[in-house]
Structure 1
Protein backbone atom coordinates (compact mmCIF):
# COMPACT_ATOMS: atom_id res chain seq x y z
CA UNK A 1 0.00 0.00 0.00
CA UNK A 2 1.55 3.29 -1.02
CA UNK A 3 0.06 6.73 -0.54
CA UNK A 4 -1.64 6.77 -3.93
CA UNK A 5 -3.70 3.62 -3.47
CA UNK A 6 -4.07 3.43 0.29
CA UNK A 7 -7.87 3.23 0.21
CA UNK A 8 -10.78 2.35 -2.02
CA UNK A 9 -13.08 5.39 -2.12
CA UNK A 10 -16.86 5.04 -1.86
CA UNK A 11 -19.11 7.97 -2.72
CA UNK A 12 -22.55 6.49 -3.46
CA UNK A 13 -24.48 8.42 -6.11
CA UNK A 14 -27.54 8.73 -3.86
CA UNK A 15 -25.53 10.85 -1.39
CA UNK A 16 -24.54 14.48 -1.93
CA UNK A 17 -21.33 14.95 -3.88
CA UNK A 18 -18.48 15.43 -1.37
CA UNK A 19 -16.23 18.47 -1.66
CA UNK A 20 -12.98 18.27 0.26
CA UNK A 21 -13.77 14.89 1.85
CA UNK A 22 -15.16 11.45 0.95
CA UNK A 23 -18.16 9.54 2.27
CA UNK A 24 -16.23 6.32 2.81
CA UNK A 25 -12.75 4.85 2.54
CA UNK A 26 -12.02 1.15 2.72
CA UNK A 27 -8.57 0.27 4.05
CA UNK A 28 -6.68 -2.66 2.58
CA UNK A 29 -6.46 -5.91 4.50
CA UNK A 30 -3.46 -6.25 6.75
CA UNK A 31 -2.98 -2.54 7.41
CA UNK A 32 -2.03 -1.24 10.86
CA UNK A 33 -4.47 1.23 12.44
CA UNK A 34 -3.01 4.38 14.01
CA UNK A 35 -5.24 6.54 16.22
CA UNK A 36 -4.01 10.15 16.42
CA UNK A 37 -5.14 12.14 19.45
CA UNK A 38 -6.62 15.60 19.00
CA UNK A 39 -3.95 18.10 18.00
CA UNK A 40 -4.18 21.88 18.31
CA UNK A 41 -1.87 24.79 17.57
CA UNK A 42 -0.43 24.39 21.06
CA UNK A 43 3.34 24.14 21.22
CA UNK A 44 5.49 21.98 23.50
CA UNK A 45 4.75 24.26 26.45
CA UNK A 46 1.01 24.04 25.84
CA UNK A 47 0.62 27.59 24.61
CA UNK A 48 -1.25 28.20 21.36
CA UNK A 49 1.27 29.43 18.82
CA UNK A 50 -1.06 31.33 16.46
CA UNK A 51 -4.24 33.40 16.74
CA UNK A 52 -5.32 33.31 13.09
CA UNK A 53 -7.84 30.56 12.29
CA UNK A 54 -6.08 29.25 9.17
CA UNK A 55 -2.69 29.33 10.92
CA UNK A 56 -4.12 27.30 13.82
CA UNK A 57 -5.59 24.79 11.36
CA UNK A 58 -2.21 24.49 9.62
CA UNK A 59 -0.34 23.89 12.88
CA UNK A 60 -2.90 21.34 14.10
CA UNK A 61 -2.75 19.47 10.79
CA UNK A 62 1.06 19.57 10.84
CA UNK A 63 0.99 17.96 14.28
CA UNK A 64 -1.41 15.24 13.15
CA UNK A 65 0.89 14.48 10.22
CA UNK A 66 3.95 14.47 12.49
CA UNK A 67 2.37 11.60 14.44
CA UNK A 68 1.49 9.76 11.21
CA UNK A 69 5.05 10.16 9.88
CA UNK A 70 6.58 9.11 13.21
CA UNK A 71 4.66 5.84 12.88
CA UNK A 72 5.99 5.32 9.34
CA UNK A 73 3.03 6.69 7.40
CA UNK A 74 2.33 9.56 5.08
CA UNK A 75 -0.61 11.95 4.60
CA UNK A 76 -2.37 9.62 2.15
CA UNK A 77 -2.67 7.00 4.91
CA UNK A 78 -5.09 9.19 6.88
CA UNK A 79 -8.50 7.60 6.43
CA UNK A 80 -10.67 9.52 8.89
CA UNK A 81 -10.45 12.96 10.40
CA UNK A 82 -12.59 14.97 12.79
CA UNK A 83 -12.05 18.73 12.97
CA UNK A 84 -13.39 20.55 16.02
CA UNK A 85 -13.79 24.32 15.74
CA UNK A 86 -14.95 26.91 18.26
CA UNK A 87 -16.17 29.35 15.61
CA UNK A 88 -18.01 27.93 12.59
CA UNK A 89 -18.34 31.33 10.85
CA UNK A 90 -14.54 31.79 11.14
CA UNK A 91 -14.10 28.37 9.51
CA UNK A 92 -16.43 29.34 6.68
CA UNK A 93 -14.67 32.69 6.19
CA UNK A 94 -11.27 30.97 6.01
CA UNK A 95 -12.20 28.24 3.50
CA UNK A 96 -10.01 29.60 0.69
CA UNK A 97 -6.98 29.76 2.99
CA UNK A 98 -7.82 26.37 4.46
CA UNK A 99 -7.93 24.89 0.96
CA UNK A 100 -4.39 26.12 0.30
CA UNK A 101 -3.22 24.74 3.67
CA UNK A 102 -4.84 21.40 2.87
CA UNK A 103 -3.38 21.08 -0.64
CA UNK A 104 0.13 21.95 0.61
CA UNK A 105 0.01 19.11 3.14
CA UNK A 106 -2.50 16.54 1.86
CA UNK A 107 -2.51 17.13 -1.89
CA UNK A 108 -5.71 15.77 -3.38
CA UNK A 109 -6.21 13.12 -0.70
CA UNK A 110 -9.53 13.54 1.10
CA UNK A 111 -10.36 11.26 4.06
CA UNK A 112 -13.80 10.60 5.46
CA UNK A 113 -14.33 13.71 7.57
CA UNK A 114 -16.55 15.43 10.07
CA UNK A 115 -16.45 19.06 11.21
CA UNK A 116 -17.95 19.81 14.61
CA UNK A 117 -18.48 23.18 16.27
CA UNK A 118 -17.77 23.06 20.00
CA UNK A 119 -18.09 25.62 22.75
CA UNK A 120 -14.45 25.39 23.77
CA UNK A 121 -11.24 23.37 23.69
CA UNK A 122 -8.94 22.47 26.56
CA UNK A 123 -6.02 24.69 25.48
CA UNK A 124 -6.78 28.36 26.05
CA UNK A 125 -6.95 30.26 22.79
CA UNK A 126 -7.28 27.11 20.69
CA UNK A 127 -9.84 27.53 17.93
CA UNK A 128 -9.17 24.26 16.06
CA UNK A 129 -8.44 20.68 17.13
CA UNK A 130 -7.95 17.79 14.70
CA UNK A 131 -8.01 14.08 15.47
CA UNK A 132 -7.44 11.36 12.90
CA UNK A 133 -7.20 7.67 12.16
CA UNK A 134 -4.66 6.36 9.66
CA UNK A 135 -4.10 2.88 8.26
CA UNK A 136 -0.42 2.22 7.63
CA UNK A 137 1.01 -0.51 5.44
CA UNK A 138 1.56 -3.86 7.10
CA UNK A 139 5.13 -4.37 8.22
CA UNK A 140 7.15 -6.55 5.92
CA UNK A 141 8.54 -9.71 7.48
CA UNK A 142 12.28 -9.60 8.20
CA UNK A 143 14.33 -11.44 5.65
Structure 2
Protein backbone atom coordinates (compact mmCIF):
# COMPACT_ATOMS: atom_id res chain seq x y z
CA UNK A 1 0.00 0.00 0.00
CA UNK A 2 1.28 3.46 -0.94
CA UNK A 3 0.37 6.35 1.36
CA UNK A 4 1.00 10.02 0.53
CA UNK A 5 1.95 11.79 3.79
CA UNK A 6 1.47 15.57 4.08
CA UNK A 7 1.54 16.64 7.74
CA UNK A 8 -0.36 19.82 8.61
CA UNK A 9 2.74 21.17 10.39
CA UNK A 10 4.40 21.60 6.98
CA UNK A 11 3.30 23.93 4.22
CA UNK A 12 0.60 22.54 1.91
CA UNK A 13 2.38 20.90 -1.03
CA UNK A 14 1.51 21.80 -4.59
CA UNK A 15 2.55 19.23 -7.18
CA UNK A 16 4.40 16.95 -4.77
CA UNK A 17 4.02 15.04 -1.49
CA UNK A 18 6.23 15.65 1.54
CA UNK A 19 6.64 11.91 2.07
CA UNK A 20 5.43 8.67 0.57
CA UNK A 21 5.23 5.57 2.77
CA UNK A 22 5.05 2.01 1.49
CA UNK A 23 3.77 -0.77 3.75
CA UNK A 24 4.47 -3.71 1.44
CA UNK A 25 6.45 -3.71 -1.73
CA UNK A 26 6.11 -6.54 -4.19
CA UNK A 27 8.33 -4.88 -6.78
CA UNK A 28 10.50 -1.78 -6.52
CA UNK A 29 11.47 -0.13 -9.79
CA UNK A 30 14.37 2.31 -10.09
CA UNK A 31 13.79 4.47 -13.17
CA UNK A 32 16.79 5.96 -14.96
CA UNK A 33 16.84 9.65 -15.71
CA UNK A 34 14.93 10.42 -18.89
CA UNK A 35 15.40 13.46 -21.08
CA UNK A 36 13.47 14.45 -24.20
CA UNK A 37 15.20 11.83 -26.36
CA UNK A 38 13.06 10.24 -29.05
CA UNK A 39 13.49 6.71 -30.46
CA UNK A 40 16.32 7.97 -32.68
CA UNK A 41 18.19 9.32 -29.62
CA UNK A 42 17.58 12.93 -30.68
CA UNK A 43 16.39 15.59 -28.24
CA UNK A 44 12.93 16.79 -29.31
CA UNK A 45 11.21 19.99 -28.26
CA UNK A 46 12.48 23.53 -28.22
CA UNK A 47 10.98 24.58 -24.88
CA UNK A 48 11.18 23.26 -21.34
CA UNK A 49 7.45 22.45 -21.52
CA UNK A 50 7.85 20.35 -24.68
CA UNK A 51 10.92 18.64 -23.30
CA UNK A 52 9.27 17.94 -19.93
CA UNK A 53 6.35 16.24 -21.69
CA UNK A 54 8.70 14.01 -23.71
CA UNK A 55 10.93 13.23 -20.70
CA UNK A 56 7.97 12.37 -18.46
CA UNK A 57 6.47 10.29 -21.26
CA UNK A 58 9.76 8.41 -21.58
CA UNK A 59 9.82 7.76 -17.81
CA UNK A 60 6.24 6.45 -17.91
CA UNK A 61 7.07 4.22 -20.89
CA UNK A 62 9.91 2.64 -18.91
CA UNK A 63 7.62 2.28 -15.88
CA UNK A 64 4.91 0.56 -17.92
CA UNK A 65 7.51 -1.77 -19.47
CA UNK A 66 8.47 -2.78 -15.91
CA UNK A 67 4.82 -3.58 -15.15
CA UNK A 68 3.87 -0.35 -13.40
CA UNK A 69 1.44 2.52 -13.78
CA UNK A 70 1.80 6.24 -13.10
CA UNK A 71 0.07 5.84 -9.70
CA UNK A 72 2.98 3.59 -8.62
CA UNK A 73 5.49 6.48 -8.67
CA UNK A 74 6.70 7.19 -5.13
CA UNK A 75 9.63 9.51 -5.79
CA UNK A 76 10.90 11.66 -8.65
CA UNK A 77 13.78 14.04 -9.11
CA UNK A 78 13.63 16.69 -11.82
CA UNK A 79 16.94 18.11 -13.00
CA UNK A 80 16.45 21.58 -14.50
CA UNK A 81 18.94 23.58 -16.56
CA UNK A 82 17.09 26.93 -16.29
CA UNK A 83 15.14 27.12 -13.04
CA UNK A 84 13.60 30.52 -13.83
CA UNK A 85 12.27 29.24 -17.16
CA UNK A 86 10.91 26.09 -15.51
CA UNK A 87 9.15 28.10 -12.78
CA UNK A 88 7.73 30.52 -15.36
CA UNK A 89 6.06 27.54 -17.06
CA UNK A 90 5.05 25.69 -13.90
CA UNK A 91 1.32 25.80 -14.72
CA UNK A 92 1.85 24.26 -18.16
CA UNK A 93 4.19 21.62 -16.70
CA UNK A 94 1.64 20.89 -13.96
CA UNK A 95 -1.07 20.42 -16.59
CA UNK A 96 1.14 17.90 -18.40
CA UNK A 97 1.72 16.04 -15.13
CA UNK A 98 -2.01 15.86 -14.39
CA UNK A 99 -2.80 14.69 -17.96
CA UNK A 100 -0.13 11.96 -17.98
CA UNK A 101 0.01 10.92 -14.31
CA UNK A 102 -3.03 12.27 -12.50
CA UNK A 103 -3.37 14.10 -9.21
CA UNK A 104 -1.40 11.72 -7.00
CA UNK A 105 2.00 13.23 -6.41
CA UNK A 106 5.17 11.42 -5.40
CA UNK A 107 7.86 12.80 -3.12
CA UNK A 108 9.57 15.23 -5.48
CA UNK A 109 12.77 17.25 -5.72
CA UNK A 110 13.66 19.84 -8.33
CA UNK A 111 17.38 20.47 -8.73
CA UNK A 112 19.02 23.19 -10.80
CA UNK A 113 22.00 22.01 -12.81
CA UNK A 114 24.41 23.76 -15.16
CA UNK A 115 23.81 21.24 -17.95
CA UNK A 116 22.73 17.68 -18.68
CA UNK A 117 24.45 14.86 -20.60
CA UNK A 118 22.94 16.00 -23.91
CA UNK A 119 23.71 19.68 -24.23
CA UNK A 120 20.31 20.33 -25.90
CA UNK A 121 18.44 18.81 -22.94
CA UNK A 122 16.65 21.30 -20.70
CA UNK A 123 15.15 18.85 -18.19
CA UNK A 124 15.65 15.28 -16.96
CA UNK A 125 13.20 13.23 -14.87
CA UNK A 126 14.33 10.29 -12.71
CA UNK A 127 12.15 8.23 -10.40
CA UNK A 128 11.29 5.28 -8.20
CA UNK A 129 8.10 3.24 -8.21
CA UNK A 130 6.58 0.59 -5.99
CA UNK A 131 4.36 -1.90 -7.77
CA UNK A 132 1.93 -4.07 -5.84
CA UNK A 133 1.19 -7.39 -7.48
CA UNK A 134 -1.60 -8.28 -5.05
Q: Per the shorter chain, which TM-score range?
A: over 0.9
Structure 1 residue runs without a partner (length 5+):
1-5
1:22 aligns with 2:12: no
Q: Distance in 1 between matches of 2:83 and 2:67?
A: 33
Provide the rounded CA distance (Å) in 2 between the counterparts of 1:30 and 1:93. 37
Q: TM-score, normalised by structure 2?
A: 0.95
Q: Which one of the candidate residues 28, 33, 37 is aligned to 1:42?
A: 37
| Mapped partners of 1:87, 1:63: distance in 2 | 21
> 1:126 offset after TM fit, Å?
0.2
Q: Which residue of 1 aligns with 2:76?
A: 81
Report the RMSD for the aligned CA atoms in angstroms.
Answer: 1.2
Residue 111 of structure 2 corresponds to residue 116 of structure 1: yes
Which aligned runs of 4 or more in structure 1 are off by greater than 2 angstroms?
none
CA distance in 2, matches of 1:31, 1:24: 19
The counterpart of 1:63, out of the listed 31, 49, 58, is 58
| 1:55-96 deviation digits (Å, cap 9, x = unpaired) | 100000000000111111100000000000000011011112
Question: Unaligned regions of 5+ residues in structure 2, if any?
Answer: none
* SS class of match (1:115): strand
Range with greater deviation from structure 2 (45-54 or 103-112): 45-54
Greater gyration radius: 1
